[in-house]
Amino acid sequence: MGVGKVRAHGTRRIAIGATAAVAVTLGIAAPAAAEVASVRPVGTCGEFAEALETSGTVVLTRTIGATFAECPPAELGAGADVVIDLVRYGLYLGGDDAPGAGLFVPSDARLTIRGEEQGAYLYAGGSDGAGIGARPGSGPSGDIRIEGGYVQGFSVHAAGVGGADGDATVVVTGGRVFGGAYSESSPVNAAGIGGGVRGVGRVTVLGGIAEGRSVVGAGIGGGAEGDGVVTIDLPADEGQWVSAESRSGSGIGTGNRGGSAVVDIRGGRVIASAWGASGTGLGDVAKRGSVTISGVPSVDVDSIRSGRIEILGGSVYGSDRAAAIDPRPVAGPTPLSQAYVAVVKGGRPVVPGPRLVVVDAAGAPTGYEALATARGSAYLWLPPGPAFIRAEVDGVRRTFPVTVAADGSTRATLDFSGPTLQDRIVARFAELARRLGDSDAAVARIAKELRIPESTVRYWLRQAGELG
């Protein structure tokens, strides 16, 4: 994971690079008295500030402000429901020496940010308030929704995007958002994206790119001493991901000394890490919450800590450190073990990797699926014992037997180069059954020669119609 840095008024604008990210979609209810009533074009700092006072759509007609020449901090009016359409222009607000929030969203207001893929950019910096969101003493942040553009929020003591000293709800459906909370001197600070100090961060990512970084709070989730509720449901698209880091909190989950995190990952590429021993990549160190991973996401973390870890699908990698994933993951009541699976053809990884489908002995899907990564491999979590994995490469579909070791040491290769295992078993069975005159003896000999269970030999012979 590469890190690039630029500065504005001393704020570190860090874009976390990625090698590639909804259990309950957090619906955002509009303030009762707020309706989007008008469209207001703006081209100056003053026009922009005035347009935020009441509900409506604020449309940029040119770039407003610049690096080191930001507009003064701005704020939505009480109860306002405001859409900021960046179109293809830039907007620069506040800075890390600016008091309060760079763009203040009162608790009874709602903010939506839109913009085109190219050119639309919003930077907002705060000191004791959020880059975008709440300011000290204002209570929870109003709801924040990001639908497009490149949005960067930074703060020294509060969230980059979210709360100051309270809760926050942030939904990302498109574009790219980066939130950073960077206090090096305070023992507590907020999440990169999510809650303020001691605040709950409710963050849902349904599209685009979301990147969060904090020193003491979660990268994405709760502030220091705060809880996190994070839902990620991205499509399988290399251009969309979630990346989060914290020094002493969770990458995704709670801040340092937080209570519990409920993390639900249903799809997309997710990368999360904690720099220090007091944090964890995913979940909560106190192990009071839950982490659920389903669908076909690719999750790459340094560690997972939670009260319960359930893995129902996807590729999930925790670093090779002992007890990187604690407690042992389950699927319902069944304990799981890690199995590394590589897909090759002609001695080379199959790239892009295919979909891997786990099937039972009769060939029926079990419900567990994963996508092999750009390296042609995946980390599956399956019950110890025999398993069967189906994949398709260049129009050829094959099913491979795998024995999952209880200690997580399984390394399996799905090789599409030569004859399938079924082809080898059927050919050898025809030879041995004719020579030995005993199908059971032939099965036992094949199992011994190929070092596989007799049940696997019988499975493939039944599939080929050689056994009843």
pLDDT tens per residue, range 243-267: 999 999 999 999 999 989 999 999 9
Instruction: State how far the Cα of 425 lies from the Cα of 419, in Å rounded to an integer.
Output: 10
DSSP 3-state assignment of 430?
helix
Q: What is the pTM of this model?
A: 0.85
pLDDT score of 427 more than 60: yes
pLDDT single digits (tens) 195-254: 999 999 999 999 999 999 999 999 999 999 999 999 999 998 778 999 999 999 999 999
pLDDT score of 8 more than 90: no
Instruction: State how far the Cα of 71 lies from the Cα of 87, in Å rounded to an integer.
Output: 18
Contact 41, 71 (CB under 8 A): no
**C-alpha torsion angle, residues 87, 123, 226, 325 (rounded to 10):** 80
Positive/negative CA dihedral, 123, 58, 164, 229: negative
Contact 227, 255 (CB under 8 A): no
Contact 5, 17 (CB under 8 A): no
Question: What value does the mean pLDDT take over residues 434-446?
Answer: 92
Range of weakest confidence among 1-15, 354-368, 413-427: 1-15
pLDDT score of 186 more than 70: no
State both tokens at 334. 């069944």
Instruction: State how far the Cα of 275 lies from the Cα of 396, in Å rounded to an integer.
Output: 43
**What share of residues in the chain are helix, strand, coil (percent, to 5)?**
10, 45, 50
Q: Would you place residue 35 in the very low, low, confident or very high pLDDT band (cuts 50, 70, 90)?
A: very low
User: Greater confidence, 421 or 355?
Assistant: 355
User: Look-up: residue for tokens 């009874």?
Assistant: 108
Write down the pLDDT at residue 373: 86
State both tokens at 284. 């909560």
Range of weakest confidence among 17-26, 41-50, 388-397: 17-26
Q: Report phi then psi at 107, rounded to 5.
A: -65, -25
Pairing of strands 355-359, 365-371: antiparallel
Q: Would you place residue 96 in the very low, low, confident or very high pLDDT band (cuts 50, 70, 90)?
A: confident
pLDDT score of 410 more than 90: yes
User: Greater confidence, 13 or 441?
Assistant: 441
Per-residue CA distances from 282 to 6, 181, 246, 316, 356 (Å): 27, 18, 10, 11, 24
Classify residue 404 by its DSSP letter: E
Contact 319, 375 (CB under 8 A): no
Positive/negative CA dihedral, 159, 165, 167, 169: negative
Write down the pLDDT at residue 12: 33
User: Greater confidence, 218 or 10?
Assistant: 218
Q: Would you place residue 4 in the very low, low, confident or very high pLDDT band (cuts 50, 70, 90)?
A: very low
Determine the straight-line distance between the first and last CA of the chain, rounded to whole angstroms.
54
pLDDT single digits (tens) 275-317: 877 889 999 999 999 999 999 999 999 999 999 999 999 999 9
Instruction: State how far the Cα of 200 lies from the Cα of 195, in Å rounded to an integer.
Output: 5
Write down the pLDDT at residue 385: 95
Residues whose CB is less than 8 angstroms from the CB of residue 50 and which lie 6 or more positions away in sequence, other chains included: none
Write out the H or E segment, with its range, that includes residue 154: strand 150-155
pLDDT single digits (tens) 349-387: 999 899 999 999 888 999 999 999 888 999 999 999 999
Number of H helices, E strands in the chain: 4, 42
**Average pLDDT of the residues of the chain:** 89
